[in-house]
Amino acid sequence: MNDILWKPSDTVIRATALWGFANKTRPLHGAAPENYPALLDWSIKDPDTFYGALWDELGIIGDKGDAAFVPGQTIRDAQFYPGAKLNYAENLLQRRDDSPAIIAHRDDGTRRTISWGGLYDAVSQLIGVLRAEGVGRGDRVAAIVTHDIEAIVGYLATSAIGAIWASCSPDFGPAGASDRLCQIDPKVLIAVPGYSYAGKAVDVAPAIRAVAEGSDLSRIITVGDVPETLAGLPAVSWDDALGAHAPQEIAFERMAFSAPLVILFSSGTTGKPKCIVHSAAGLLIQHKKELALHCDIRANERFFYFTTCGWMMWNWQVSGLSLGATLVTYDGNPCYPEADRLLDVIDAEDIAIFGTSAKYIDSCAKAGLKPGQSHKLETLRLILSTGSPLIPASFDYIYRDWKSNVHLASISGGTDICGCFLGGNPILPVHRGELQCALLGMDVDTLDDDGNPVAGVPGEFVCRSAHLSMPLGFWGDEDGSRYTDAYFSRFPGVWAHGDFVEKRPSGGFIIHGRSDTTLNPGGVRIGTAEIYRQVETLDAIEEAVAVGQDIDGDQRVILFVKMREGLLLDETMEKEIRSRIRKGASPRHVPARIIAVPAIPRTRSGKISEIAVRDTIHGRPVKNTTALANPESLDAYRDLPQLQD
């Protein structure tokens, strides 16, 4: 069967920035510009030449220095652009015209815009506020914010003066917010005192007070009026704070490659969130590489990603401003007031690049949406999906019911690198169920338990090369031991990402799930995503989670399913589930027990939390439940009689 679902024409290929870059650098690598494997090989084997050319191609504003890459004894010791000086915000605020820089939507129907000139002015005013509070290089600015204009202004103002930004979404609650933000001792907190979600008002004041009580804040800036519940705290409204400072020219602080820009927080449920520190230069160049070359985003295109400010995809989308693209943002429930709300936004705003999660695509399919019939989607040319593996049936759904000539790119990376290892490629075909390629500069591989390369079967996903957005480290990890243990203890000297991945003959990849939740019945490792691919083809099941239960010295597969409203898990449905898994995966994937539950626990970034379920059914405490969007769902997994024999 031909599994190619989309293939760019020669005309399209030659118009891409990736082809142009490959053609321009042809004297350096000697390959035809359409030969992506050769370009990837050059980017890995000759990093100094590649990264020198990349800086020029991306038009980075700053001083490049004499060298682009200096190797070290290990990939952790390697240096990118050791003599460089740049500023992240300066590279995003090059435009000052009246066209829209950001178009911000909320699920209550609110639509606001800010021009490039207005964005620059607002950033300059907030810089005045931060300077007045004594914020400078290395100080932390924390935020509890919705995905809106003010969040982006805050991020850019913080980076412009060399301070460090750390944000979380307002749905974290008091414990979740303080567990993250109080670790880094911020000087200023920017926060929304409340917000609306699907018509329901949510009070954020308790979270703001929790952060204030756990840190030494000099100022709280509320996006909206200061509520009475924050009385006694050093709070001022956004409008009043910025209104005290006139717009002015920004004196951007250019700093070394290793200067920190942002702290991201791990979303796992195995302890207090790790505070992952990322560099300004690393994120800027990594993101521009991915957005310009692998997504082919151009100036003035409308770029949308459904994300919150607690997910690395928010930082990733904001970097789209460096290309002169207009960001279209959305805050709230993506299916409110109707399931097709985001589809309406695509048409209304002429969106060209639409980013979302695999879960959203699956939910559209199960809701019976057929966007190709109900909406125009005329400008839509690229759909990006991440957060969890995109199953083959979802590829079929997009090309059948959305748009037959759209470029669908499943991408994968993570908070750890605030970027991607694997993703899209505008000059390569899309194969059903596969991520198209390793991204430039990423020497990735899949290994067996002994560290030997494997192909055609799942293995541990690793990266052998230093990459631009490797973390500078973890906040508070003075000797670097936690950092080493997180990524380099599995295979010394090689970055082990924690994914269970299969290399395909096409050059693409299939992700089979997280390796730390890989199932091991009878001593054979299988990925949970292989089970989900089959279960999610059943319309009767809304979603599912599979875990391994340790029993009698072995492990058996347990599948929990949330049935669609009004449907029950009966004997006939159990037989259908087992049959679908046996035929579509293998007999080893068939669960020993199938149990209906009212909800599946997910992290706040939308990922199924298999670890939380696994620990719960084994009677172990679940740490860091504040990382979960619905921790109360775990009650349904405790002390189940079906798991006692």
Reply yes or no: is the peptide bond before residue 234 cis, omega within 30 of 0.
no
CA pair distance 146, 168, nearest whole angstrom: 9
Q: Which CATH number fits domain 86-509: 1.20.120.160, 3.30.420.270, 3.40.50.12780, 3.40.50.150?
A: 3.40.50.12780
Q: Say what percent of the chain tops pLDDT 70.
A: 99
Residue 203, strand partner residues:
194
Q: Where are the beta strands (DSSP E) in 455-524?
A: 458-463, 473-474, 495-503, 509-514
pLDDT above 60: residue 1: no
Q: Which helix (H) or strand (E) holds 49?
A: helix 47-58
Nearest one of 162, 124, 126 to 145, comparing CA atoms: 126
What is the model's pLDDT at position 526? 79
Task: List C-alpha distances in Å: 547 to 138, 283, 392, 469, 617.
Answer: 42, 34, 22, 32, 9
Summarised one tens digit per residue, pLDDT across range 230-252 is 999 999 999 999 999 999 999 99
Centre a 10 Å sphere on the Cβ of residue 322 and count the other Cβ atoms it contains: 25
DSSP state of 5: E
Distance between first and last Cα of the chain: 43
Range in 321-330, 512-521, 609-618, 622-631 with the lowest mean pLDDT: 512-521
Same fold, 86-509 and 518-643: no
Over range 273-281, report the average pLDDT.
Answer: 95
CATH fold, domain 518-643, is GMP Synthetase; Chain A, domain 3 (3.30.300)
pTM assigned to the model:
0.88
**1-5, 315-319, 508-512, 639-643 — which one is most confidently predicted on average?**
315-319
Instruction: Tell whether the model's pLDDT for residue 271 goes beyond 70.
Output: no
C-beta atoms surrounding 570 within 10 Å: 11
What pLDDT was estimated at residue 370? Answer: 98
Q: What is the distance between the alpha carbons of residues 424 and 426, in angstroms, rounded to a whole number? A: 7
- pLDDT of res. 341: 98
Average pLDDT, the chain: 94
- Higher model confidence: residue 401 or residue 524? 401
Q: Convert the pLDDT of each residue in 551-588 to its tens digit.
A: 877 789 999 999 999 999 999 999 999 999 988 877 88
Q: What span, in angstroms and rounded, lies between the C-alpha atoms of 418 and 495?
A: 15
Span 123-127, mean pLDDT? Answer: 98
Poorest-pLDDT segment among 178-187, 188-197, 264-273: 264-273
| Residue 394: closest CA among 419, 431, 361 | 361
* Greater pLDDT, 29 or 271: 29
pLDDT at 403: 98
To which residue do tokens 């080893």 refer? Answer: 588
In this structure, are residues 599 and 504 in contact, taking their beta carbons and an 8 Å threshold? no
CB atoms near residue 30 (< 10 Å): 10
| CB-based contact 416:274 (threshold 8 Å) | no
User: How high is the pLDDT of residue 268?
Assistant: 52
Please state the domain extents for the chain: 11-85, 86-509, 518-643
> CB neighbours of 558 closer than 8 A, spacing ≥ 6?
546, 547, 548, 549, 591, 592, 593, 595, 617, 643
Q: Which tens digits make up the pLDDT trace of 131-176? A: 999 999 999 999 999 999 999 999 999 999 999 999 999 988 888 8
Residues forming beta bridges with residue 355, ordered by sequence position: 305, 384
Q: So what's the pLDDT on residue 593? A: 96
Q: Give the pLDDT of residue 553.
A: 76
Q: How long, in residues, is the chain?
A: 645
The number of beta carbons lying within 10 Å of the beta carbon of residue 300 is: 12
Give the Cα separation of 193 and 205 in Å (integer): 5
Strands 412-414, 326-331: pairing kind: unpaired
Which residues does 69 contact at the CB level (< 8 Å), separation at least 6? 47, 48, 50, 51, 52, 78, 79, 80, 81, 466
**Both tokens of residue 502?**
């299969």
Residue 356 or 269, more confident: 356
Give mean pLDDT, residues 94-121: 98
Question: Using the 8-state DSSP alphabet, how is residue 291 labeled?
Answer: I
* pLDDT band with cut points at 50, 70 and 90 for residue 517: confident
User: Residue 522's pLDDT band (boundaries 50, 70, 90)?
Assistant: confident
Q: Is it the case that residue 270 has pLDDT exceeding 60?
A: no
Strands 554-563 and 541-551: antiparallel
